[in-house]
A and B are shown apart, each in its own frame.
Chain A
Amino acid sequence: MNIDLSIHTDLARKILTGFIKSEITRFGFARAVIGLSGGIDSALSCALAAEALGPENVLAIRMPYKTSSPDSLVDAEKTATRFGVRMETIEITPMVEPMIQRDPQISNLRKGNLMARSRMIVLYDQSQAFKGLVVGTSNKTEILLGYTTLWGDMASALNPIGDLYKTQVWQLSRVMGVPQSVIDKPPSADLWQGQTDESDLGFTYAEADKLLFLLVDRRYSVEDCVAAGFKKEFVDQVVERIRRSQYKRMMPPIAKLSNRTVGIDFLYLRDWGT
């Protein structure tokens, strides 16, 4: 079965830059803050924000931990230079280290979460100082798979790329002129040396994106996906990942007591009045 995830990149670019501009300026802001990891997702968000707001209005922040790959820093710098945005570097090692030192048994998962949430703190602090909104860098694949840290890399004021699968992020990044080394390298959370997303997940983005596209966008059942050529175990695994991570895609439920409850029947868009 031929599953075509390709997008019309000019159309995507028009909609996404318009979105960034609208959702920042309507609240009286003109600027954006973006955490630049050296990876492709943040590079694409940075490119879109620079085009939408003007590069002088975008602050890219590198936030390395002591084990972060030096290549990540180089790639982040190349990206900032390529799109002409301001760049700052704020090490998170002094923030994260005391927490890690408290527990010699600390797992990689906990370390990763500490790093992601420390970066969130830095971005939101710089957002106030720079008077810009935090632009998110999570793509649709990782959001659906829950391959994210709640209140960490998921935290942002607006997310231009959250409805693009990783495959589509690659396609749009090529057109937008993201540096080749960023496009070519294997995606990695860069929490420890040699880590890659695809080895963490146990499958490739190319496979996952096609399956997610059928399950989510095309509303295929598990049986339909198997009939389309996907292995039953793989489909079950992905469906279960989506279900288990639903909480990461929502605000926490509020226990209803009154006649009108925030999050349940107090219904206004964020853009209310703007």
Chain B
Amino acid sequence: MQINLALAQITTKLGNVQANLEKHLDYIKQAEAQKADLIVFPELSLTGYILQDLVSSVSHQPTDNDPVFKPLLEASQNLDIVVGFVDEDARHRFYIASAYLSAGRVLHVHHKVYLPTYALFDEARFFARGDSIRAFDTRFGRMGMLICEDFWHASPPYLLWLDGADILLFSSASPGRGLSRHDKLESAWWVENVNQSYANLFTSYVVHSNRVGYEDGLNFWGAATVHDPRGERLVLGPYFEEALTMATLDLNQIRRTRARLPLMRDERADLVHKELTRILSK
């Protein structure tokens, strides 16, 4: 089985959800025209990133009576869609969220678990932390979603792997930083390295969709990637430019790699559990 994947690295209008929705629908049409099965948008793709006091005015619930999600859910009749948005729960807590939409339904919502609040980041000031990391079933197999800082920590991808995800969908609004004599920003270098490493370590597909554009002085570097279960990079989107990057994921590659390299089979989650229990009881 194959997945025809579309990675939508877009720029957004800060706080203008309607304009961003229109861009989503346009990219979804383009992806459909290229026979995509799944399109993945970046972190906070419906809202923009440095929201600060805009947070409460851009939140939406992923339901079919929500004016923003209604057209997206309709569009998901033709292809599966991952979008980034601000989720508001019944107690009016706001989360950085990704929703997986398929056949008119919301299959899964992930709330960002790790909110960077240091250096240029201030997320925990404005958002609540997510408190679960779960894989979920799709028509292409079991997947897991993480958002930016979530995968700067090693444990969330590991947990998704143990929970059965063979395809990891990562989304980011990663501000470019760390210019040196190298041809890549330090932030881009770091993210590309860890994505490749996770694909290697978990013998899984690792998909990364990262936004482009500017917000005040910040740049976002794009360069969407897919790494296959061997750690090989299948595609690389352009740096800094909007693009729809297509990739074909051959799911049989998971079987071939794991037949050779049974890291999944040999993983000792029980040992991790035992040692974690000991460490946490100190």
Contact = CB atoms under 8 A, between A and B. Distances in A.
A22 B214 contact: yes
Interface in A217-274: 266-274
A11 interface: yes
A89 B179 CA distance: 36
A268 B53 contact: yes
A193 interface: no
A19 interface: yes
B106 interface: no
B52 A269 contact: yes
Nearest to A158: B217
A249 to B, nearest CB: 13
Contacts of A6: 180-181
A270 B15 CA distance: 12
Nearest to B16: A273
A274 to B, nearest CB: 6
Chain A, interface residues (CB within 8 Å), range? 20 to 34
Contact of A19 (B183, B219, B239): B219
Contact of A269 (B16, B184, B216): B216
A12 interface: yes
A8 B240 CA distance: 15
B214 A272 contact: no
Contacts of B214: 18-19, 22-23, 271
A215 to B, nearest CB: 16
Q: B13, B16, B179, B183 — which one has the most chain A CB atoms within 10 A of its CB?
A: B179
B101 to A, nearest CB: 26
A206 interface: no
Contacts of B14: 269, 271-274
Given A273-B13, A274-B13, A14 B54 contact: no
Nearest to B52: A267
B185 interface: yes
Q: Which of A4, A270, A272, A273 has the most CB of B within 10 A?
A: A272
Interface of A: 4, 6-8, 10-12, 14-15, 18-19, 22-23, 163, 266-274
11 contacts: A7-B181, A8-B183, A10-B183, A22-B213, A22-B214, A23-B216, A268-B52, A269-B14, A272-B15, A273-B14, A273-B16
Interface of B: 13-16, 50, 52-54, 176, 179-185, 213-217, 219, 239-240
